[in-house]
Amino acid sequence: MKAKQALAFLSLFVLQVPAPMVGFGQPQHLSDYIRPFVGTQGEGNTYPGPSAPFGMIQLGPDTDRDLWDTASGYEYSDTSIMGFTLTHLTGTGIPDLGDFLFMPQLGEPKLVVGTKENPDAGYRARYSHDQESASVGYYKVKLLNNNVTVELTAGERAGMMRFTFPQSDSASIMTDLQHFLSGKRFKLIWSHVRVEDKATITGFHLVNGWAKERYLYFAARYSRPFDHYRIMSNGQEVKYDSYKTYRFRSRNEAAGTNLQFLAEYKTRPNEAILVKVAVSAVSAANALQNLDSEIQPQDWDFEKVVRSTRDKWDRELARIEVEGSQWDKETFYTGMYHAFLAPNLYEDVTGEYRGLDSNIHQAKGFKNYAVFSLWDTFRATHPLFALIQSQRDSDMINSLLAHYDQSADHLLPLWSLQGNETWCMIGYHAVPVIVDGYLKGVKGFDKQRAYQAIKTTAMNPDYDGVTAYARLGWVPCDQENESVSKTLEYAFDDYCVAQMAKALGKSDDYTYFRGRAGSYKNVFDPSTSQVRGRDAQGNWRTPFDPHFYGEGTTGDFTEGTPTQYSFYNPQDVPAMIALMGGKEKFVKQLDALFDYKEPLKPGVAEDI
């Protein structure tokens, strides 16, 4: 039975009961198979909050902002929540985003977050997984210290929060502009908050994070005008008191590095106050426009946003039908969900976005995407997109090319993050993404322009030893770190350049890059039957340990060992088998890789 038939069959049963918000019953929708908590414990670094497919906004709870092991902000084993922020990365190894924290409070609002050990020292709130749930487009948690229920949903560029308060004379919703996922070493550079009217604020911060210069604006509209409001700066209310000081004159806006906004209310029992939010990398005005164009100013229908996002996911997941058990389908569609969370839409409803050059650009003829973790995604994710997301693949390729046009270094993205190049990981893997799309027939981008970009990137004179690699045939290990991994991955990327050169009839280029694509042999040491660091004079790295795990500034390998990387020559497996001495020896060596049990020997951690 195909998945579609199965669902039709199942629907006979589930149609008789209300559609489950959190669907552990029989699914009515494919998206009910999504389990947002998958990957939130350990280093999966996913987030449980709502997000539209490839959406620009990802509302969610943050439990930690300092740890690299909690790069998405949420760690399932944490027992308290710092607050609810508007943006999140999924699955990365380094934290960033987590912009603009919202937190409901009762009593005199706390302005500092507190600690996991002592959440009551700040606005951090205890919670229990028993009173927490997440399903497609929806997240809910009850904060145990004040009995406020928080619900979140998200559309493409705008989201909604519903705070259900107990009766209180001193309820508040705080926005902390200082918060972001800092990984301890990153820094908030500046922020600004502004009261637009009695139920609307906008704000901004500039973050020197993993993305070294990231501008983000937000807009928030409240379902009820503030009874009272305050802007706090460094713990003090921002107000004009001329009798004491001239320091501040406006109570309606402030700039600085430690700002909170407090929307204050007297609430009835179980009163729900909703906050609609949107972001923009361009301006506060654009954030407001993103918000109002997606959720009309008078529209406060929380469930409508949930349904709309669920429908979007149903359409995306319907691209593949699978058979199997409930567990199989949950596994599959949750994986598909994770595959379709990023890259993220990165343009306003106006088509504007802040580019790599910090200028505001207009995406013409395509939708601009950001957050390209290419070293992670060139192998499988983008080839999948080329097959079943060809319009988005085309948009993404155009986004890569726009980045190239904006690059002071004349490079396609390596690991790009919202108008920034993080320079993370190795290779120039935008090349296989583009070439794969082109060869699979993805339309909507200029092939000659694309070829120019991939060739120029592969010939960059400054980037990561490419010049020496082009000259010698390998990246010399005495000049460049992770030299063997770079050699092998450049060679694969060059194979891709060659394929596109061939398809475009550029035979000289084909010959040249086909030559570079054969570089595997140059770092393969027959005496050990392993790939091995090699210096500019051609000498092998000595001593040599086939299980030394390379990472960072001293190793010859990138998050791997010689034993593992010896099997990296996907563009010419027969040549690799031949170098290893034929099929039998190859199989034996491959078995040895899988059978290897010793602990890895760590290299030096990457210094971002």
Binding mask 225-264 for a second copy (x = CB under 8 A): ---------------x-xxxxxx-xxxxx-x---------
CB of 525 to a second copy, least distance (A): 21
Look up residue 291 and give its amino acid: L
CB of 252 to a second copy, least distance (A): 4
Does residue 184 interact with a second copy by CB under 8 A? Answer: no
CB atoms under 10 Å from CB of 18, counted, come to 9
Instruction: Select the residue interacting with a second copy from 69, 213, 446, 591 (CB under 8 A).
Output: 213
| Window contacting a second copy (CB under 8 A); options: 296-304, 448-456, 462-470, 576-584 | 462-470
| Window contacting a second copy (CB under 8 A); options: 33-41, 105-113, 205-213, 438-446 | 205-213
Question: Left if phi > 0, otherwise alpha if psi is -120 to 50, otherwise beta: which for 515?
Answer: alpha
Would you say 195 and 231 are in contact if contact means Cβ atoms under 8 Å apart?
A: yes
CB of 424 to a second copy, least distance (A): 9
Token pair 């600085």 in the structure block, residue: 256
Would you say 485 and 474 are in contact if contact means Cβ atoms under 8 Å apart?
A: no
Tokens of residue 541, six digits:
């790295």
Q: Of 35, 61, 169, 53, which is closest to residue 125 (Cα–Cα)? A: 61
Residues 82, 88, 91, 94, CA torsion sign: negative
CB of 76 to a second copy, least distance (A): 31
Q: Of 329, 279, 260, which is closest to residue 30 (Cα–Cα)? A: 329
Tokens of residue 108, six digits:
């005199």
Does residue 92 interact with a second copy by CB under 8 A? Answer: no
CB atoms under 10 Å from CB of 530, counted, come to 22
Q: Please, which residue, 511 or 553, has the CB nearer to a second copy? A: 553
Would you say 83 and 176 are in contact if contact means Cβ atoms under 8 Å apart?
A: yes
Does residue 364 interact with a second copy by CB under 8 A? Answer: no
Q: Please, which residue, 152 or 201, has the CB nearer to a second copy? A: 201
Instruction: Select the residue interacting with a second copy from 79, 208, 258, 390 (CB under 8 A).
Output: 208
Residues 87 and 101: their CA atoms lie apart, in Å, by: 10
Instruction: Select the residue interacting with a second copy from 38, 199, 320, 360 (CB under 8 A).
Output: 360
Count H helices and E strands in the chain, helices first: 16, 26
Binding mask 272-291 for a second copy (x = CB under 8 A): -----------xxx------
Instruction: Select the residue interacting with a second copy from 359, 391, 511, 539 (CB under 8 A).
Output: 359
| Window contacting a second copy (CB under 8 A); options: 95-103, 184-192, 430-438, 510-518 | 184-192
Token pair 């993220």 in the structure block, residue: 344
Q: Please, which residue, 145 or 406, has the CB nearer to a second copy? A: 406
Does residue 511 interact with a second copy by CB under 8 A? Answer: no
Rule CB under 8 A: which of 551-590 touch a second copy? 552-553
Query: CA 135 from chain center: how many Å?
Result: 19
Q: Of 392, 421, 488, which is closest to residue 213 (Cα–Cα)? A: 421
Instruction: Select the residue interacting with a second copy from 64, 464, 551, 559 (CB under 8 A).
Output: 464
Instruction: Select the residue interacting with a second copy from 10, 38, 114, 196 (CB under 8 A).
Output: 196
Residues 550 and 556: their CA atoms lie apart, in Å, by: 6
Q: Please, which residue, 421 or 493, has the CB nearer to a second copy? A: 421
Residues 452, 454, 460, 466, CA torsion sign: negative
CB of 409 to a second copy, least distance (A): 5
Residues 545 and 277: their CA atoms lie apart, in Å, by: 53
* 8-state DSSP, 245: B
Q: Please, which residue, 150 or 282, has the CB nearer to a second copy? A: 282
Does residue 547 interact with a second copy by CB under 8 A? Answer: no
Tokens of residue 165, six digits:
């308060």
Q: How many Cα neighbours within 13 Å face the side chain of 13? A: 7
Q: Please, which residue, 238 or 306, has the CB nearer to a second copy? A: 238
Rule CB under 8 A: which of 399-458 touch a second copy? 408-409, 421, 423
CB of 169 to a second copy, least distance (A): 24
Does residue 533 interact with a second copy by CB under 8 A? Answer: no
Does residue 607 interact with a second copy by CB under 8 A? Answer: yes
* Strand intervals (E) in 335-449: 344-345, 352-354, 360-362, 369-370, 372-373, 415-416
Residues 434 and 451: their CA atoms lie apart, in Å, by: 9
The site for a second copy, by CB under 8 A, has a size of 48
Instruction: Select the residue interacting with a second copy from 68, 76, 190, 544 (CB under 8 A).
Output: 190
Does residue 147 interact with a second copy by CB under 8 A? Answer: no
Q: Please, which residue, 376 or 409, has the CB nearer to a second copy? A: 409
Binding mask 473-502 for a second copy (x = CB under 8 A): ------xxxx--------------------
Residues 417 and 291: their CA atoms lie apart, in Å, by: 22
Residues 287 and 202: their CA atoms lie apart, in Å, by: 8
Residues 12 and 138: their CA atoms lie apart, in Å, by: 25
Token pair 């589930």 in the structure block, residue: 14
Q: Please, which residue, 64 or 348, has the CB nearer to a second copy? A: 348
CB of 368 to a second copy, least distance (A): 16
Instruction: Select the residue interacting with a second copy from 185, 212, 224, 304 (CB under 8 A).
Output: 212
Residues 498 and 481: their CA atoms lie apart, in Å, by: 26
Q: Is 155 helix (H, G, I), strand (E, B) or coil?
A: coil
Q: Please, which residue, 55 or 560, has the CB nearer to a second copy? A: 560
| Window contacting a second copy (CB under 8 A); options: 85-93, 189-197, 366-374, 487-495 | 189-197
Q: Please, which residue, 141 or 477, has the CB nearer to a second copy? A: 477
CB of 345 to a second copy, least distance (A): 22
| Window contacting a second copy (CB under 8 A); options: 126-134, 150-158, 461-469, 526-534 | 461-469
Instruction: Select the residue interacting with a second copy from 110, 185, 192, 304 (CB under 8 A).
Output: 192
* Strand intervals (E) in 59-154: 60-62, 80-81, 83-85, 101-106, 125-126, 132-135, 138-143, 148-154
Q: Is 113 helix (H, G, I), strand (E, B) or coil?
A: coil
CB of 446 to a second copy, least distance (A): 22
First to last CA, the chain: 50
> Where does this chain bind a second copy (CB under 8 A)?
189-190, 192, 194-196, 204, 206, 208, 212-213, 240, 242-247, 249-253, 255, 283-285, 357-360, 408-409, 421, 423, 462-465, 479-482, 552-553, 606-608
